[in-house]
């Protein structure tokens, strides 16, 4: 906690606004005027002498830095990690060494493909990057909400990213994979099959950053004090469970509130609804490296949780919003190479390439090698070395010595032996020829894609098929469509046949060998064991002056639900305040709806009905306070209930997918 406060103070020094202070130039000169540039007479030309104008304008002109080449759109929060138990049997990492030990963290969530101004709710993987400010230095766990990746070797990352980004000739489409180059890449790089199955699932349209899993994806090593290493994969499990939007809703949210996820996280933290995630690890002893029917270094493979169980290490709580988006969220620099003793790397070829790319990207993005001095990136423990100078250097190094070894400064700073906390790379024995090749163990692209498909509930399968039909249906090239159909026939003939029909492709699927494995991993399904909850869900209550909705609102709020009142006008309605009109609110922005009014004005009542329709179509809970408020067609439908108590019960089920006529 002490460290947590230290970090906070460190940041506050830089973020507290100097509200009561005089306006000065950056040189400290007080200015008597800041609204008018220096002119010859009040209607005359502006003059070059105006150093204040030029300083202000030059600073403004240089306000933007290059956005991240991927994961440009993101949002972040501060918090802390609390260790559950001493994990020194597997790692000597100090932040995992003691029950109750707290370590400050900063987490940035992101989309991958879109630019900084793109919408939050698009179909995409989400980044989940955590910086632990440990007392042994910063440790970054740079993960995604999907446990596998599109490619197996980092050298293909630029190709993959070029394919998914807007096409170069017309820069269309923004933040979407539903276009020719993405699917052309997929069909011609079949290692992507497993990840594409996840990408077509509801995992790619999360309801909230608070309701997403996180995965380190790559295989790392944990090393203990005795020098014994284990292969590990790291996981974040959200306390609220994993929940998603539906596709029609996600597309509409992108227009109604492009900041949907950013706002959700910010508001939840402001309200004290702190998101929490458990950190867990899967552990494989070195001697079992080849005991599985998949290669444990292949980033397109999961280690099924049923086969390699999760061990829980601690809980992360996000409890503080940033003070300044640019200084913190935009300037934070993650790197998979930021590790602490006890955490080491595997030879996963994707991870090895990532180890180069992250520092390289910060150099261009943050303008030089001193980005570790920015408050958000600075370790909370002291750091000393002989690195000097460079763009934006903040530290004023004293003394004449900046080299090792030396006698003038008592040979300091000096390296620290492993036994005293110095980082020593795991001494893996490596022997081989220098070649450019794919390992034999990496050549199976379809068995886990099939495992994923087998593990889905019928609703999840339906959503995956629909997502494929949407995405491939947007591809212009009939040849690419055909290639995709044929590729996914290896995963499932059922999926490929529906896709072929829907996107107008004729091909003989039957001649393509379908994966035959019948294995399942229930842990990858979102709907097999969903977490039921209502706390922090957002509900619209449609109300007017006719009926008093105070008791209904009180009951909802007592259950931890966030309520917004929607009416034909804002402001006072009897004892409650209307937050929104039907124009400023949108049904896609709520988890459920309580109808507590009808309106005499026909046009307004039509808006109410449209609102109800949309909530119904997206399978969300609907409650009504009077029998005649419900639309007759829906009165018997699942999740459409009378009374607030029943509504709260219905809201705990995320979506009522067993509804007739719903078209989401
Ligand atoms: Fe990456 C950013 C996650 C593969 C190169 N990556 C970035 C971020 C996340 C990930 C969450 C955003 C960090 C932030 O919020 O600032 N990346 C992943 C995961 C991968 C992965 C889970 C697969 C296991 N990445 C990957 C490869 C390469 C990169 C193979 C290159 C060889 N990633 C980058 C980058 C970025 C980045 C270009 C852009 C901005 C940044 O690093 O700071 O270096």
| Two structure tokens written together for 603 | 């046009």
pLDDT of residue 70: 98
Ligand 1 centre to CA of 135 (Å) is 25
Which tokens in the block code for residue 233? 């994969």
Place of tokens 């008093």: 548
Q: CB–CB of 370/392 below 8 Å?
A: yes
Count the helix, strand and coil residues of the chain and give each as a percent rounded to the nearest 5.
30, 20, 50
Q: What mean pLDDT is predicted for residues 483-490?
A: 98
Which pLDDT band, with edges at 50, 70 and 90, does 295 fall under?
Answer: very high
pLDDT tens-digit readout, 87-142: 999 999 999 999 999 999 999 999 999 999 999 999 999 999 999 999 999 999 99
Tokens standing for residue 576: 């409650």
Instruction: Note the pLDDT tens digit of each residue in 495-548.
Output: 999 999 999 999 999 999 999 999 999 999 999 999 999 999 999 999 999 999
Mean pLDDT of 297-320: 98
Q: Closest ligand 1 atom, CA of 108?
A: 15
CA of 310 to the centre of ligand 1 (A): 24
Question: CB-side exposure of 43: number of CA atoms within 13 Å?
Answer: 0
Element (H, E) at 652: helix 644-652
Greater model confidence, 11 or 191:
191
- The preferred substitution site among 67, 146, 358 for testing ligand 1, maximizing ligand atoms within 8 Å of CB, is 358
Running DSSP on this structure, what letter comes out for residue 423? -
Count the neighbouring beta carbons within 10 Å of the beta carbon of residue 492.
23
CA of 605 to the centre of ligand 1 (A): 49
Nearest CA to ligand 1 atom 28: 354
What CA–CA distance (Å, rounded) separates 606 from 153? Answer: 55
Report the distance separating Cα 339 and Cα 328, nearest Å. 21
Largest CA distance in the chain: 90
Place of tokens 């829907």: 502
Ligand 1 centroid, distance to 105 Cα (angstroms):
18
Structure pTM?
A: 0.96
DSSP-derived letter for residue 532 is P
> Using 50, 70 and 90 to split pLDDT, how confident is the model at 8?
low
Question: Tens digits of per-residue pLDDT, 166-203?
Answer: 999 999 999 999 999 999 999 999 999 999 999 999 99
Q: Which atom of ligand 1 is closest in space to residue 127's alpha carbon?
A: 11
Q: Is residue 255 within a helix (H) or strand (E), and if so which, with residue range?
A: helix 247-256
Q: For tokens 């906070």, name the residue.
A: 8
Using alpha carbons, select from 125, 457, 132 the residue that is nearest to residue 277.
132
User: From the CB of residue 32, how many other CB atoms can be counted at a distance below 10 Å?
Assistant: 6
What is the structure's pLDDT at 632? 79
Using DSSP, state whether 133 is helix, strand or coil: strand
Q: How far is the CA of 358 from the centre of ligand 1 (A)?
A: 7
**Quick check: bond before 99 cis, omega within 30?**
no
Q: Which domains does the chain have, with CATH numbers?
A: 2-62+400-420 (4.10.91.20), 74-155+189-367 (2.40.180.10), 446-524 (1.20.1370.20), 538-652 (3.40.50.880)
Contact predicate 328/322, CB 8 Å: yes
Read off the pLDDT of residues 199-213 as tens digits, 9 standing for 90 and up: 999 999 999 999 999
Dihedral-angle region of residue 658 (phi above 0 means left; psi in -120 to 50 means alpha; beta otherwise)? alpha
C-beta neighbour count of 163 within 10 angstroms: 22
Distance CA 601, CA 568 (A): 10
End-to-end CA distance of the chain: 46
According to DSSP H, which parts of 421-580 are helical?
Answer: 447-454, 458-473, 478-489, 493-502, 550-558
Ligand 1 atom nearest 143 alpha carbon:
22
Q: For a pocket test of ligand 1, which of 65, 66, 68, 353 has the largest count of ligand atoms closer than 8 A to its C-beta?
A: 68
In angstroms, the CA 509 to CA 222 distance is: 45
**Site residues for ligand 1, CB cut-off 6 Å:** 68-71, 74, 108, 110, 127, 129, 142-144, 149, 154, 157, 217-218, 299, 332, 334, 350, 353-354, 357-358, 361
Cβ within 8 Å of residue 172, ≥6 positions away: 166, 179
Residue 357 CB coordination number (10 Å): 17
What residues are paired with 621 via a beta bridge? 592
Angle (CA) 330-276-148 rounded to 5° is 70
Taken as a whole, the chain contains a residue count of: 664
- pLDDT bucket at 629, cuts 50 / 70 / 90: confident
The pLDDT-based confidence of 628 (bands split at 50, 70, 90) is confident
Cα→Cα distances 281→231, 533, 587, Å? 10, 25, 39
Nearest ligand 1 atom to alpha carbon 215: 22
Euclidean distance between CA atoms 607 and 358, whole angstroms: 49
Report cis status (omega within 30 of 0) of the bond before 413: yes
Active site residue ranges: 71, 144
**Rounded average pLDDT over 228-240:** 98
Instruction: Select from 75, 354, 362 the residue to mutate for testing ligand 1; criterion: most ligand atoms less than 8 Å from CB.
Output: 354
Is the confidence at residue 2, as pLDDT, over 60? no
| pLDDT value of position 661 | 85
Residue whose CA is at the smallest distance from ligand 1 atom 26: 354
Nearest CA to ligand 1 atom 19: 143
Give the Cα separation of 240 and 235 in Å (integer): 15
Of the candidates 617, 607, 624, the residue with the CA atom closest to the CA atom of residue 539? 624
- How many DSSP H helices and E strands does the chain contain? 16, 18
C-alpha span between 511 and 352 (Å, rounded): 39
Whose CA is closest to atom 24 on ligand 1?
217
Q: How many angstroms separate the alpha carbon of residue 535 from the centre of ligand 1?
A: 33
Q: For residue 160, how far is its CA from the centre of ligand 1 (angstroms)? A: 12
CA of 362, closest atom in ligand 1: 43
């Amino acid at each position: 906690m002490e460290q947590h406060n230290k970090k906070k103070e460190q940041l506050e020094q830089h973020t507290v606004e100097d509200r009561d202070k005089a306006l000065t130039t950056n040189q400290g000169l007080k200015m008597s005027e800041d609204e008018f540039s220096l002119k010859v007479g009040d209607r005359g030309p502006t003059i070059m002498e105006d150093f204040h104008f030029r300083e202000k304008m030059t600073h403004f002109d240089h306000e933007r830095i290059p956005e991240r080449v991927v994961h440009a759109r993101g949002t972040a929060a501060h918090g802390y990690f609390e260790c559950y138990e001493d994990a020194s049997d597997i790692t000597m990492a100090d932040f995992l060494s003691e029950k109750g030990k707290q370590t400050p963290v900063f987490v940035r969530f992101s989309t991958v493909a879109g630019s900084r101004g793109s919408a939050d709710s698009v179909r995409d993987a989400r980044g989940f990057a955590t910086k632990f400010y440990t007392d042994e230095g910063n440790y970054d766990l740079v993960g995604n909400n999907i446990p596998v990746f599109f490619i197996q070797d980092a050298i293909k990352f630029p190709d993959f990213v070029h394919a998914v980004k807007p096409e170069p000739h017309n820069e269309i489409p923004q933040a979407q994979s539903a276009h020719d180059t993405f699917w052309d890449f997929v069909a011609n790089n079949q290692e992507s099959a497993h990840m594409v199955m996840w990408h077509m699932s509801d995992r790619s349209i999360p309801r909230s950053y608070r309701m997403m899993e996180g995965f380190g994806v790559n295989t790392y090593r944990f090393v203990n004090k005795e020098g014994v290493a284990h292969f590990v994969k790291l996981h974040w499990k959200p306390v609220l469970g994993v929940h998603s939007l539906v596709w029609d809703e996600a597309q509409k949210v992108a227009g109604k509130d492009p900041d949907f996820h950013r706002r959700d996280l910010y508001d939840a933290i402001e309200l004290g609804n702190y998101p929490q995630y458990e950190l867990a690890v899967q552990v494989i002893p070195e001697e079992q490296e080849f005991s599985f029917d998949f290669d444990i270094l292949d980033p397109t493979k999961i280690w099924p949780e049923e086969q390699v169980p999760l061990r829980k290490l601690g809980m992360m709580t996000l409890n503080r919003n940033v003070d300044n988006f640019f200084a913190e969220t935009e300037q934070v620099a993650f790197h998979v190479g930021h590790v602490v003793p006890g955490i080491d790397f595997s030879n996963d070829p994707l991870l090895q390439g990532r180890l180069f790319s992250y520092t390289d990207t910060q150099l261009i993005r943050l303008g030089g090698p001193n980005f570790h001095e920015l408050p958000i990136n600075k370790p909370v423990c002291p750091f000393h070395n002989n690195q000097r100078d460079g763009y934006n250097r903040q530290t004023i190094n004293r003394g004449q010595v900046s080299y090792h070894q030396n006698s003038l400064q008592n040979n300091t700073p000096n390296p620290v032996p492993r036994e005293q906390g110095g980082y020593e790379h795991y001494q893996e024995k490596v022997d081989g020829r220098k070649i450019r090749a794919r390992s034999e163990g990496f050549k199976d692209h379809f068995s886990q894609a099939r495992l994923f498909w087998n593990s889905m509930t019928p609703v999840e399968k339906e959503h995956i098929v629909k997502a494929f039909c949407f995405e491939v249906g947007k591809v212009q090239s009939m040849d690419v469509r055909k290639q995709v159909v044929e590729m996914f026939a290896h995963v499932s003939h059922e999926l490929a046949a529906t896709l072929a029909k829907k996107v107008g492709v004729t091909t003989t699927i039957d001649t393509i060998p379908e994966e035959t494995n019948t294995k399942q991993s229930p842990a990858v399904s979102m709907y097999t064991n969903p977490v039921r909850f209502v706390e922090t869900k957002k509900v619209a209550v449609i109300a007017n002056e006719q009926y008093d909705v105070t008791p209904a609102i009180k009951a909802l709020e007592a259950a931890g639900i966030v309520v917004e009142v929607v009416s034909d006008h804002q402001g006072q309605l009897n004892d409650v305040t209307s937050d929104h009109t039907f124009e400023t609110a949108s049904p896609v922005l709520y988890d459920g709806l309580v109808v507590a009014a009808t309106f005499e004005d026909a046009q307004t009542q039509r808006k109410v009905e449209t609102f109800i329709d949309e909530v119904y179509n997206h399978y969300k809970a609907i409650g009504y306070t009077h029998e005649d408020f419900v639309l007759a067609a829906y009165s018997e439908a699942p999740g459409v209930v009378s009374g607030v108590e029943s509504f709260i019960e219905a809201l705990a089920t995320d979506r009522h997918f067993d509804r007739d006529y719903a078209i989401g």
